[in-house]
Structure 1
Amino acid sequence: MGYRALYRVWRPQKFADLVGQQLITQTLKNAIAAKQTSHAYLFTGPRGTGKTSAAKIFAKAINCRHQQAGEPCNQCEICQAITQGRLNDVIEIDAASNNSVDEVRDIREKVKYAPTQADFKVYIIDEVHMLSAGAFNALLKTLEEPPANVVFILATTEPHKIPATIISRTQRFDFRRISDHDLIERMEYILKQEKLTFDPAALKTIAKAAAGGMRDALSMLDQVLSFGHNEVTLKNALLVTGSVSQEQLAAYLTAVFSQETALAFQQLQQLLAAGKDPNQLFEGLIDYCRELLLAQVEKSTASQQLIELAAKVSAETLYQALDILSQQQQAMRFATHQDVYLDVATIKLCQIKSSTNKATAAVVPDKQLTELQAQVAKLQQQLNQLQQGQVADKGLAATKSPAAGSKPSTRPKLKIKPDLNQIYSVLAEASRANLEEIKDVWQDLLNMLAVTQRAVMNVSQPVAASSTAAVVSFQYDFLFEKAAQDQQLQTALLNDLAKLLGKDLKLVFLPQAQWPQIRKKYLLAHKTENNSKAAAAKTSAPSDNNLATAQKIWGTAAKDLIEIKDD
């Protein structure tokens, strides 16, 4: 047999091999071990996240007579036959090329027959959203009244195109994009098993370009190995993926934020001459600007290069840069000459108002720097003398000293305050089940956003939810304010959330630092209200009982004639 691609050689053969989908694999294993499997499943999620692999593993596990804790043995005849694709009882159908009513009717006819070797017949229908309306209607009848020994597994990347009548008759599992960390770990494991050398920085580049898809990551890794004679280097990874190195991005943005247009164009032409893809370049610049924003508020995890450039650029400049890059990237997608949009973006970036840009002051001649340092030293000396004079005057010092025990607030005041009424209304009907429901799809929701929108929402998380609304906290105050003012972002969130959950859900934003205090205040107020109601019920009970007794004796007119006074 000739060479086989890495993603085929290292295709998962048991649930434990599926990377980044622990919740789904554990649920399926438990169901198989307890013999509580459903007749139909719907696997949704981005490409390359393990939907078809999970379907094949499920087919093996449900039919394996030696399975342990829901895992197939992969040694028996049935397991090996399914792995090699020669078991007639496991039928794989590509809905993209078999989407007519006649094909689905053929399935309905054959589904009646019992399996020949296995215990269950398993139909795996890939890209099921490609079926026609008539085919879906034909399939619906089978899903309503399935034979006892048949299991359907429907896989799709676009669940919103599947009729609700089909979805309601299946158990749905949403496969998430695999994190860069998990992708890198898997690639490291494979390369070590293959005894090949690699640069960790190269794997990081491949993982970022794969955008959460394991199959894409292994395909790119295959290309890098072929290009570099079985050696994975950062240089080769950048060439194969079309990505741009952090140093090149930093050099270009430094020139842009310093408003050195000629130097910025020189950097841009070097990148394009090296064959960099314009779309990848936009993606890299947007991601780097996001990293700069985060480096301004959280320096512990940022590199020295990021910290230095972040200190020269204001947050307002980065906001404007992200808007410009996003707009030009959107416009470029339908253009023939993509380079033009990079040129336009470069000019617009260089024209960002210098009043909000600190990078223009970064390059200072040595002589001028020495003079500035001398002036600063002189001013510092004068300030020290002035402070000493103030300390000598006790009366003046007493009037200006802060109150005992008071601490000056170092946290900047928010321009926008969270809406407490909306937050309290959510908390009044909040439940753990509603919160878990939105948490399960939160990462998928972020992946559906545009790059600039994802940069704002990346440090957010839902902290409370009811059936109609959810409270979302932001790790950084400035990103809370940015999201609260961005109507386009809020509309995108609501629309995408409706697609994922199948219902409309309102979102209320607040800073993460304020969440514990707001929740505590609500709980205390709620407790006081409940106590007041209980006390009122207790005091009103005797009067109600006395009135009821009087009504029995004198009739309903007693309510108007009798006045009851408690002792």
Structure 2
Amino acid sequence: MNYQALYRMFRPQAFSDVVGQTHVTKTLRNAISKQKQSHAYIFSGPRGTGKTSIAKVFAKAINCEHNDDGEPCNECAICTGITQGTNSDVIEIDAASNNGVDEIRNIRDKVKYAPSESQYKVYIIDEVHMLTTGAFNALLKTLEEPPAHAIFILATTEPHKIPPTIISRAQRFDFKAINEEEIVERLKFVAEEQEIDYDDEALTFIAKTSEGGMRDALSIMDQAIAFGDEHLTLQDALNVTGSVDEASLNQLFTEIIDGDVKSAFTTYHQFVSDGKEVNRLINDMIYFVRDTIMNKTSESTVEYDALMGFELETLYQMIDVINDTLVSIRFSVNQNVHFEVLLVKLSEMIKGQATTVQHVATTSVAAEPNNDVLLQRMEQLENELKTLKAQGVATATSAQPTKKQAPSRGAQSKNAFSMQQIAKVLDKANKDDIKLLKGHWEEVVDHAKTNDMKSLVSLLQNSEPVAASETHVLIKFEEEIHCEIVNKDDDKRANIENVVCNIIDKTVKVVGVPSDQWMRVRSEYLQNRKSGQSDETTSSVEGEHTADTSEEVDVVQKAKDLFGENTVNVIDEE
């Protein structure tokens, strides 16, 4: 008997043999055992993941005379005939070469005839996305109203090319790429069945190279076994795939890091002389950097650590540069030039990173003062702060006679808020109203979030009520632009007022103040109020000290009511 390829020899003959597609096999087994199978299925997914194999197993299970809980027995005449391809009721069609209207019309004409030896006729159409528009239209009516004895299984790697009218008439199963651990386990089973010695590193490499395809993994393994001498080694797998081992890649990256581009060129050309493919080499470099990133984030100890000393951001940039080269060489005639340029790019990028790091380190060391210098600097800053405080008090005192005069800093933000509006709030502010609003402010923000008021949420998230009366509320905003929006945009302000009304059951007018201006505004208001009350007292009671004192006490008490006793500090200016 002629030798069979491993992927054919070990093709799944039952649902239990299938690797990595439990969500498909379990559903189909249950449907068969409960006799609730559909008339049409779409199997979509990457190549070599078991689409056609499961279709044939399904055809056996649905027709098996002794199926066990949805599994075919693989012993009866029908199962044997389907396995050997002699059963005329299981028709497998390659849509890539039979994609015309005439072929589909032929299927449509013959599907109405009853099966000759099985219970169901099963049509397996592989690569169904290759059908023409006319062929899909010819198949449409048959899928919509098929005979009771007919089942269609449409397999494809590109489901997006199938018309929605076809997809909606079939049950769709999306096959997934098989993970490396499951592929390795299957390869071990095949090697033991074939009585072949192997190295674990070889099977792991084959599983990674196959990129989730079991058929690809078995084909690479078959090729590596033929290349070697009855013992499957990592080097055999590397040779048949044109890949480079991690030790050689580590050497190449070490030369790049050292800036020895000439040696890197020599190493690369040695790879080419050994028959390594440029595409595969670039892919191996990407995987090497990726493995370094994984090892750094998991803090693992590795043998090949050429890149372990770099920051993650540098490694991300490396992957981008290498990937750009992979894309460009696909359309290039001379791939060697692109790869050599890649080596230079990586070397220069690493040099730039090293220069930047060295510069930052040198600057940090040079700028680091000793303790004496720090103490002197702190004393200097304290003296400057005392001077500024004194100047600030003098400025505030000189500004008292002119009630409407505003500091220059406030003038910069005069568009964001109005001192007149703020004064209206503070004139009648009291503890009870601000306590009520602060206690329910989180509810106000949550109400905006719950009702999908995205524009309000962005305004209210970094806000806080700082003063409130029966009719007004003063809200402090972290961002000055948010404060300006609330004060200028009538709609936004009305929306906030409605939300507040819903929460505290009280109608109030909203006024905004920037967070960085609030302390100055509060101080200015107190100074202006104190100045105004002193003038009134003087005019009404000619120099009576008791009235003056009474008014000053009122101002102090008002400040304590507004801002709390712990916040207000009374200083005797005399």
TM-score interval (norm. to shorter): 0.5 to 0.7
RMSD: 3.0
The TM-score with structure 1 as length reference comes to 0.63
Distance 2:185 2:357 in 1: 41
| CA drift at 1:161 | 0.8
Correspondence 1:347 to 2:344: yes
Query: Identity, % of aligned pairs?
Result: 49
1:86-145 alpha-carbon deviations (Å, 9 max, x no partner): 001100001111111111111111111111111110000000011111000000010010
**Residues 353 and 84 (structure 1), Cα distance of their counterparts in 2 relative to 1, 3 Å cut:** closer
**Residues 112 and 534 (structure 1), Cα distance of their counterparts in 2 relative to 1, 3 Å cut:** farther
| CA drift at 1:191 | 0.4
Q: 2:318 aligns with which of 311, 317, 321?
A: 321
Distance 2:71 2:502 in 1: 55
Report what 1:278 is aligned to. Answer: 278
Quick check: which has more Rg, 1 or 2?
A: 2
Output the amino acid matched with 2:292. L
SS in 1 for 2:349: coil
SS in 2 for 1:35: coil
**Residues 359 and 34 (structure 1), Cα distance of their counterparts in 2 relative to 1, 3 Å cut:** farther
**Residues 212 and 89 (structure 1), Cα distance of their counterparts in 2 relative to 1, 3 Å cut:** same
Comparing 18-27 and 345-354, the one that deviates more: 345-354
The answer to whether the 8 A contact 1:257-1:359 is kept is no
The answer to whether the 8 A contact 2:257-2:350 is kept is no
Output the amino acid matched with 1:316. E
Report what 2:532 is aligned to. Answer: none
The answer to whether the 8 A contact 1:89-1:116 is kept is yes
Distance 2:345 2:159 in 1: 39
The answer to whether the 8 A contact 1:313-1:359 is kept is no
SS in 1 for 2:332: coil
1:429-450 alpha-carbon deviations (Å, 9 max, x no partner): 9xxxxxxxxxxxxxxxxxxxxx
The answer to whether the 8 A contact 1:199-1:233 is kept is yes
Report what 1:303 is aligned to. Answer: 302
| CA drift at 1:337 | 1.7
Output the amino acid matched with 1:305. Y
Distance 2:141 2:20 in 1: 34
| CA drift at 1:256 | 1.1
Distance 2:257 2:34 in 1: 61
Output the amino acid matched with 2:311. S
SS in 2 for 1:305: coil
The answer to whether the 8 A contact 1:258-1:359 is kept is no
1:265-307 alpha-carbon deviations (Å, 9 max, x no partner): 122122112111000001010111111122222123x52323x
Distance 2:35 2:94 in 1: 28
**Residues 255 and 97 (structure 1), Cα distance of their counterparts in 2 relative to 1, 3 Å cut:** same
Unmatched segments (≥5 aa) in structure 1: 362-378, 380-384, 391-423, 430-531, 537-567
Alignment length (residue pairs)? 376
Unmatched segments (≥5 aa) in structure 2: 359-364, 376-445, 452-500, 506-574
The TM-score with structure 2 as length reference comes to 0.62
SS in 2 for 1:96: coil
Q: How does 1:190-229 map to 2 (within 5 A)?
A: 190-229=190-229
Distance 1:277 1:9 in 2: 29
1:461-482 alpha-carbon deviations (Å, 9 max, x no partner): xxxxxxxxxxxxxxxxxxxxxx
Q: 1:335 aligns with which of 318, 332, 348?
A: 332
1:466-505 alpha-carbon deviations (Å, 9 max, x no partner): xxxxxxxxxxxxxxxxxxxxxxxxxxxxxxxxxxxxxxxx
Report what 1:49 is aligned to. Answer: 49
Report what 1:102 is aligned to. Answer: 102
Distance 2:273 2:356 in 1: 27
| CA drift at 1:356 | 2.2
Output the amino acid matched with 2:160. H
Distance 2:97 2:262 in 1: 52
Correspondence 1:27 to 2:13: no
Report what 2:379 is aligned to. Answer: none
The answer to whether the 8 A contact 1:259-1:360 is kept is no
Report what 2:477 is aligned to. Answer: none
**Residues 83 and 313 (structure 1), Cα distance of their counterparts in 2 relative to 1, 3 Å cut:** same
| CA drift at 1:36 | 0.6
The answer to whether the 8 A contact 2:289-2:307 is kept is no
Report what 2:496 is aligned to. Answer: none
Report what 2:524 is aligned to. Answer: none
The answer to whether the 8 A contact 1:5-1:219 is kept is yes
